Amino acid sequence: MDIGQGDAIFIEAPNGNQVLIDGGPDNKVLRSLSKILPFYDRTIDFVIATHPDCDHIGGLPAVFKRYKVLNLGSTKVSSDALCSKEYKKAIQKEDAQQILLKRGMNISLGSEVNLEVLFPDRVFSGNGIDPNVASVVLLLNYGKSDFLLTADAPKKIEKYILLLENGDIDVDVLKLGHHGSKTSTSNALLGFVSPNYAVISVGEDNSYNHPHKEVLRKLDDFGIDVLQTKNLGNITFKSNGKEIELVK
């Protein structure tokens, strides 16, 4: 979803089950959700917070206030940032079932639709951990359609996941790590997962100069189509379990 400089991904399965992965930096996420959901739909089945950086969880308190969240998945990594404190207050008021996400977990969204946790492979806790290193990395599969959602995972975690998977990951769509920062998106990842599309969730004129030119050159070298929220707004894919269509 186009929420500025941050991440927010919405998934709807054919049976209507809905997942929101991260909520961007602020309440812009509500505007994006209102374009996707009918006004009377005020329930989200599963919300996932990949890590406690403000550009990923800053908008979640507004989501909890507007929508009934049934399940909340996250890690134990915390932050001293004000947005993290507001997020913690919000989830204390929400009676969602809280689930600790760890490698090997498989969230079934319906027939043939699965969200698999690839990382973390252990329990990280406290605020002494680099949130990016402990990012929740997910693989969404529906039939023959696969999406790799890497949050802000750095190159060393990308390579570690490839090692854990024995390089056996081949996807149609890659949500690029860390908004196109050069700290993510290794040659190894692109070579093994060989996506048709790379989606970059990024804000216009952001202070980090994301996405970096080095990353864009790399994607071009691999012949991958690049889609950026700052240019296209909400980016939507539709799958029938066999083929993926980019909805324009």
Over residues 187-225, the pLDDT tens digits come to: 999 999 999 999 999 999 999 999 999 999 999 999 999
* Helical H segments across the chain, by residue range: 28-36, 54-57, 60-66, 82-93, 155-164, 187-193, 213-221, 229-232
Assigned domain for 152 exists: yes
Assigned domain for 120 exists: yes
Residue 239: enclosing H or E segment and its boundaries? strand 236-239
Assigned domain for 3 exists: no
The Cβ of residue 237 has, within 10 Å, a number of other Cβ atoms equal to 16
Over residues 24-61, the pLDDT tens digits come to: 999 999 999 999 999 999 999 999 999 999 999 999 99
Do 75 and 124 meet the contact criterion of CB atoms below 8 Å apart? Answer: yes
Assigned domain for 4 exists: no
Assigned domain for 167 exists: yes
Q: Domain residues for 28?
A: 9-247
Over residues 217-231, the pLDDT tens digits come to: 999 999 999 999 999
List CB contacts of 62: < 8 A, sequence separation 6 or more: 23, 26, 27, 29, 30
Number of domains in the chain: 1
Nearest to 133 by CA among 77, 185, 179: 77
Assigned domain for 180 exists: yes
Assigned domain for 240 exists: yes
Q: How confident is the model at residue 93 (pLDDT cuts 50, 70, 90)?
A: confident
CATH number of the domain that 73 lies in? 3.60.15.10
